[in-house]
Amino acid sequence: MIDQARPPQRADRSAAGTLPTRASRYCDAVTAAAGFGWWVFPPMDVSLLWDGEQVYWTWDGADRWLPLDSALFPHLRDRFDAAAPAFLHGAAPPFLTALPEPGTVQVWTGLFARTAPGWSLLVRPPANLFLSSGFTAYEGIVETDRWFGPLFTNIRLTRTGSAVRLHADRPLLQAQPLPRAAYDEATLGAMTLVGEPAAFTAEDWTDYGRSIATPAADPDRPFGRYATEARRRRKSGCPFAA
């Protein structure tokens, strides 16, 4: 919707090179999480300031701080109305909105999102990428197969009296595809708990030995065995490859 906005890009398994080298090489759990989904960016550099009551905003080239209520992206109204049918003229989504909760701001990425039937988007802070300070982002699951609209996130400013900057070249959020069955009540309610080790099955003990005890007892074991096997399974395309 905003022509200058940076397009989403596949999230990077090295978290843009910020992960420790040992994690990048040997910890597939960390790199798989970092690379799951797409990075989404703010459509421009913008600064926010919270004085404990009112949120203010400004951008490069502006000559003052403006109190934030709800603000359209600069020059978006004409672009939106030129593309939208007449009954939607004037209905462009706001870029920034100060929410009723203290220090909380809704930020639109300039994107709309739609997913295949049965799939939603988990919208969350970038996984294992720690580039921001002064704010935290909420997580949300949006059923984007049923609800079509702007892709946004809500952030909470965590400091007062100094500016917080959102950078157009740094990921603001990570959008991750999620099958609705993964979080419906039937799935989440099906969890059971084994309350004592005596209740472990023979398969449980065998799997624990293969995963932990046997490799730990081998002084010549290679580093990153789990990561190597996980990468081989992905490369083969078979989730059951040994």
Question: Which sequence spans correspond to the domains of the chain?
Answer: 9-181, 192-236
Tell me the average pLDDT across 76-94: 95
- The pLDDT mean for the chain works out to 90
Does the domain at 9-181 match CATH 2.70.40.10? Answer given as yes
Rounded to an integer, what is the distance from CA 83 to the centroid of its chain? 29
Place of tokens 């069955």: 181
Task: Render pLDDT for 147-165 as a digit per residue (tens, 0 to 9).
Answer: 999 999 999 999 999 999 9
The string of DSSP codes covering 114-154 is: ---TTEEEEEESPTT-----SEEE--EEE-TTT--EEEEEE
pLDDT above 90 covers what percent of the chain? Answer: 69
Contact 71, 95 (CB under 8 A): yes
Query: What's this model's pTM, rounded to 2 decimal places?
Result: 0.84
Element (H, E) at 97: strand 96-98
Alpha-carbon distance 197 to 73, whole Å? 58
DSSP 19: S
pLDDT band for position 234 (cuts 50, 70, 90)? low
